[in-house]
Amino acid sequence: MLRRPRRNRKSAAIRAMLEETQVQTRHLIYPLFMIEGRNQKVEVASMPGQYRFSTDLLLKEIEECLRLGITTFDLFPAIADAKKDKEASLSYNPDNFYLQAIRQLKRELPEACIMSDVALDPYNSDGHDGLVRGGKIVNDETLEVLGKMAVAQAEAGVDILGPSDMMDGRVEYLRNALDEAGYTEVSIMSYTAKYASAFYSPFRDALDSAPRSAEGIPGDKKTYQMNPANQREALIEADLDVAEGADMLMVKPALFYLDVIKLLKDHYDLPIAAYNVSGEYAMVKAAARQGWLNEEAVMKESLLSIKRAGADIILTYFAKEFARLQAGR
């Protein structure tokens, strides 16, 4: 045999030298959950190792992560039901604890790059990403609230906005609102291909933000999030987001949509992000606790597969564990 591919696998040194894909801590964004109060650290039951932090402990958590080499954090607020309403009005109230926490974080840890979520579901008493009117999730009225939320987050010091609502036209609406308010340097990482996935349940547990049946609307998000059966539709969404001024494009979930990640990577020059979602994380944790899988090996292989598919950036709850391994701690 003239060709023996195994010659290029015969030693660790050769395998390392020829490795095509690498994941580094700098490629990761760490999603973190926030709650009101002080000295609060509450584990999310369906996401072992993930917590809801009050602002004081969130600062300590981010400071520790910065020392491990994690530079970017996506923050999600858990809002008490009593403070939610059908208009999601707390979302842009400057006294919102979420916005106050971001201001404090940017003062005390200015080197931390902060990403925020732009959607109504944490604040909406209906649990939907858009306003409910007459049995429908209304698109254009929702954009007005999203625009106010985006400007309020930019004012607080957010570096990257993550519109996750899947309303039509929201990237352009947010870009215009930010530019008119003078926040031309704030980035938009659009949730371009966000699917109506069954893998979000642990996240919704963390924020108590599951969609509710309201005015005849079923308790799901299928009228605005994408059908998991569709791939070409992701190109339509991406075309729109690029034209509307997105700086980065995201696919969510990641592991079960590697084909979509590759599709966007092959068609667009913008950075491609992928969200390794709560259900994907929870499955690995649950199997590892049963002794069915090697957690460290599966975590590494999972992140590698997402990177190999074409993701430049990975949002993952494994970020801190991965960073510790890379740092040898």
- The set of catalytic residues is 194, 252
Pick out the residues of the known binding site for Mg(2+): 237
Which positions ≥6 away from 125 have C-beta within 8 Å?
81, 84, 85, 86, 212
Give 139: exposed, middle or buried? Use CB within 10 Å, 0-12, 13-18, 19+. Answer: middle
CB 51 within 8 A of CB 43: yes
Among the residues of the chain, which ranges form H helices? 12-17, 55-68, 97-108, 140-156, 170-180, 201-207, 232-244, 258-267, 278-289, 295-309, 319-327
Query: In which region does residue 54 sit, left (phi positive, over 0), alpha (psi from -120 to 50) or beta (all else)?
Result: beta
- What is the distance between the alpha carbons of residues 164 and 119, in angstroms, rounded to a whole number? 6
Please give the Cα distance from 98 to 162 (Å, whole number): 15
166 in Cβ contact with 191 (< 8 Å): yes
Residues 326 and 322: their CA atoms lie apart, in Å, by 6
DSSP 199-234: GGHHHHHHHT-----BTTB-SS-TTTSBPTT-SHHH
Place of tokens 């690029």: 242
Specify which residues 136 forms β-bridges with: 133
Three-state DSSP state, 146: helix
Annotated binding site: 237
